[in-house]
């Protein structure tokens, strides 16, 4: 079974530039999550999708972050404009609805200079 795929693995940008991350969850997983993991911290939820609907985006900084999950499969997370404090690893995870176990991708590491 293929795992959660993310790209790009690494990205370096200047502040105020934009960046987009892509995630392909495990086939059949209805729920998709984006987490932000700052160095030395645990993952923090940014947004949760159930199929192509948003379940929880209360911690998403909506003035600069946006996310979509078209057709209930792939998802894209965008940051525009980026700030220095956005430097982090962006983790995508998926699971079947109503189960606790999350399956994570390897993450997209963003450095903002």
Which residues are at the interface with another protein (CB under 8 A)?
4, 31, 33, 40-45, 48, 50, 55-56, 91, 93, 97-98, 100-107, 109
Nearest approach, Cβ of 111 to another protein (angstroms)? 13
**Neighbouring C-alpha atoms within 13 Å toward the C-beta of 83:** 6
Q: Kindly give the pairing relationship between strand 108-112 and strand 10-13.
A: parallel
- In the chain, the N- to C-terminal Cα span, in Å, equals 37
Closer residue to another protein, CB minimum distance, 17 or 106: 106
Minimum gap (Å) between residue 84 Cβ and another protein? 21
**CB closer to another protein out of 16 and 97:** 97
Contact of 75 with 22, CB cutoff 8 Å: yes
């Amino acid at each position: 079974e293929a795992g959660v795929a993310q790209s790009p693995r690494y990205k370096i940008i200047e502040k105020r530039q934009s960046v987009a991350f892509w995630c392909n969850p495990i086939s059949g997983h209805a729920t998709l999550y984006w987490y932000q993991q700052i160095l030395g911290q645990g993952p923090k939820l940014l947004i949760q999708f159930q199929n192509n609907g948003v379940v929880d985006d209360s911690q998403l900084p909506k003035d600069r972050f946006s996310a979509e999950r078209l057709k209930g499969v792939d998802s894209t997370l965008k940051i525009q404009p980026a700030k220095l404090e956005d430097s982090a690893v962006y983790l995508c995870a998926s699971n079947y609805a109503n189960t606790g176990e999350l399956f994570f991708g390897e993450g997209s590491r963003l450095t903002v200079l």
